[in-house]
């Protein structure tokens, strides 16, 4: 019995360290204005993981605003890379009708990239939250990744000379924020099997 209990402790300690971190996933529409250079995303959250308080997903809004600063030197004949800048602490605002502002802050190191000729690409940014109910879970720095679909302009170094739009889905996450470890499926299964073994052994005795 002592060996069985030791095994249970081993399984729980070494198989249950599934570290969770806060994630907010979103989807929406993206618009770029060649007149102003502003690229905006308007949408809503469609899921949340390991955040408190949990957003009222049905009433959430997701608003992102950045401004085009130029084509990056990393662009080449096969890929276009464009740089953007945030507009201050209102660059990203995430809210819901129940709790109000969930997250609000600035964006930095914003980059949009895609294969030339394709209408799909990615948007990357660092998010620096300034306020909101989820501030402590996404501070001091989080990452934003968005997958861009169905762009009305194909990627090229001249794509920002005309306005375009598209669809976006992505997430804001903070892997550096470590919450309480959660038992993995393996750990729970192993403990269940051990408990069954102990019960059968008692019956047989």
- pLDDT tens per residue, range 26-51: 999 999 999 999 999 999 999 999 99
Specify whether 166 is located in the same domain as 94. Answer: yes
Specify whether 81 is located in the same domain as 157. Answer: yes
∠16-22-26 over CA atoms, to 5°?
Answer: 130
Q: Is 165 left (phi over 0), alpha (psi -120 to 50) or beta?
A: beta
Specify whether 82 is located in the same domain as 165. Answer: yes
Number of structural domains (the chain) is 2
Q: What is the pLDDT of residue 205?
A: 56
Confidence of residue 14 (pLDDT cuts 50, 70, 90): very low
Domain that holds residue 4: 1-18+182-205
pTM higher than 0.85, yes or no?
no
Specify whether 47 is located in the same domain as 107. Answer: yes
Specify whether 51 is located in the same domain as 115. Answer: yes
Specify whether 90 is located in the same domain as 114. Answer: yes
Q: What is the spatial distance between Cα 58 and Cα 45, in angstroms, rounded to a whole number?
A: 8
Specify whether 78 is located in the same domain as 12. Answer: no
Q: What is the spatial distance between Cα 124 and Cα 102, in angstroms, rounded to a whole number?
A: 21
Instruction: Judge contact between 104 and 92, C-beta under 8 A.
Output: yes
Select the more confidently predicted residue: 204 or 78.
78
User: Per-residue pLDDT for 193 more than 60?
Assistant: no
Specify whether 165 is located in the same domain as 203. Answer: no
Q: What is the pLDDT of residue 48?
A: 97
Specify whether 99 is located in the same domain as 192. Answer: no
Specify whether 174 is located in the same domain as 138. Answer: yes
């Amino acid at each position: 019995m002592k060996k069985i209990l030791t095994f249970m402790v081993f399984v729980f300690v070494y198989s249950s360290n599934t570290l969770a971190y806060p994630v907010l996933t979103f989807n929406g529409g993206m618009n770029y204005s060649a007149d102003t250079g502003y690229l905006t995303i308007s949408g809503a959250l469609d899921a949340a993981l390991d955040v408190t308080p949990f957003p009222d997903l049905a009433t959430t809004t997701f608003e992102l605003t950045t401004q085009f600063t130029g084509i990056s030197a990393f662009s080449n004949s096969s890929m276009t890379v464009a740089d953007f800048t945030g507009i201050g602490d209102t660059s990203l605002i995430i809210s819901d009708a129940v709790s109000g502002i969930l997250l609000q802050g600035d964006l930095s190191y914003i980059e949009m990239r895609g294969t030339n000729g394709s209408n799909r690409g990615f948007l990357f940014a660092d998010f620096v939250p300034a306020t909101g109910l989820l501030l402590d879970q996404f501070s001091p720095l989080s990452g934003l990744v968005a997958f861009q679909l169905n762009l009305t302009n194909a990627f090229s170094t001249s794509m920002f000379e005309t306005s375009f739009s598209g669809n976006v889905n992505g997430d804001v996450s903070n892997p550096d924020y470590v919450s309480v470890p959660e038992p993995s499926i393996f750990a729970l299964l192993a403990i269940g099997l051990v408990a069954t073994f102990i019960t059968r052994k008692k019956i047989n005795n």
